[in-house]
Amino acid sequence: MDVRRWLLSAKNHHRSSWLALAGVVLAGGAPAGLWAVWTVLEHLPAQELRSITLWFVGLTSAAVLGGFGAVAGWLMDALVDAREQLAQEALEDHLTGLSNRRAMQHALTAELRRHERTREPVALIMLDVDHFKRVNDRFGHPAGDAVLCTVAQQVRSACRGMDVAARVGGEEFAVLAPGLHAQDATRVAERIRRALEDASTMFGDATIKVTLSAGVATTDELQPPVDVQALWAASDVQLYRAKQGGRNLVKTAGKDSFPQHPTPLSLPQVPLQPQAIANHDPEKNWNSVRRR
């Protein structure tokens, strides 16, 4: 029997449709599939063919639009995630995980605006690691990065949840403490100073201990209106006084606070680690730009 005639017979019409579909699936060839589909469709009544055509066009359009919608939704989610990640990276110090200088300035601007409305005090603590260049020179920049991470950990641990801790320079850090007057802000700075004095950084076979100096200024000591530059400069002046006073000190605007004998830098007398030199990558040196 002629196969094509058997397929086209009215009795085997539905069976031929299934066989045509099976032929497409089994053969997997485009020519055979097109021939089978055309064989079935060209002998259908016009009304039925029109209904099938409309159904096929509608289903195809829905699939295409649904596919475009899914792709567009995925792209939008990816775009939002990338945007959020970039925004976070733009305000975060990549080495220590603290806020960076830009984030600190934004937060300080917002707090000073609130201060203008409520007259609540705002304190700014500037911190600088003493003799940090010696760490880099003796142990290499990877060791310096490890020390900076230790400093960041101690700063973060001493802060309240509402405070903003940031790395604002090479070895310079800052803490924004809303709602604190000079005496309370000085206590926070002293707590950070003592914590770092007791801490140490392990790097290879070496144990590295460093200290820091701190300067404290608040809106109480400044003439209104107080802007970011004025408060920043006032705390920086106190930091300079702490450096000039012997380091490992806390100085506060308007008074000398927590006087104590400066503790000398403690560095073990061990040779520079060869592997630190071999593994040092200048592109990854994030520390030490500013020296005091």
> Which residues are tagged catalytic?
171
Q: What is the DSSP letter of 259?
A: -
The helix (H) or strand (E) run that includes residue 165 is strand 164-167
What is d(CA 112, CA 6) in angstroms, rounded to the nearest whole number?
89
- Three-class secondary structure of residue 42 per DSSP: coil
Q: Characterise 15 by phi-psi region: left (phi > 0), alpha (psi -120 to 50), beta (else).
A: alpha
On the question of a cis peptide bond just before residue 142, with omega within 30 degrees of 0, the verdict is no
Q: Which of 178, 193, 184, 56 is nearest to 121 (CA)?
A: 178
For residue 215, the 8-state DSSP code is: E
Q: What's the CA gap between 72 and 55, in Å, rounded?
A: 25
Instruction: Name the token pair of 121.
Output: 């005090």
Cα–Cα distance between 215 and 213 in angstroms, integer?
7
Amino acid making up residue 258 = F
> What is the rounded CA–CA span in Å between residue 219 and residue 126?
14
* Residue ranges in 91-131 assigned as alpha helix (H): 101-118
Closest CA to 254 of 238, 268, 266: 238
Q: Are strands 206-208 and 201-203 parallel, antiparallel or unpaired?
A: antiparallel
- Residue pair 231/222 in contact (Cβ under 8 Å)? The answer is yes
User: Whole-angstrom Cα distance, residue 260 to residue 182?
Assistant: 19
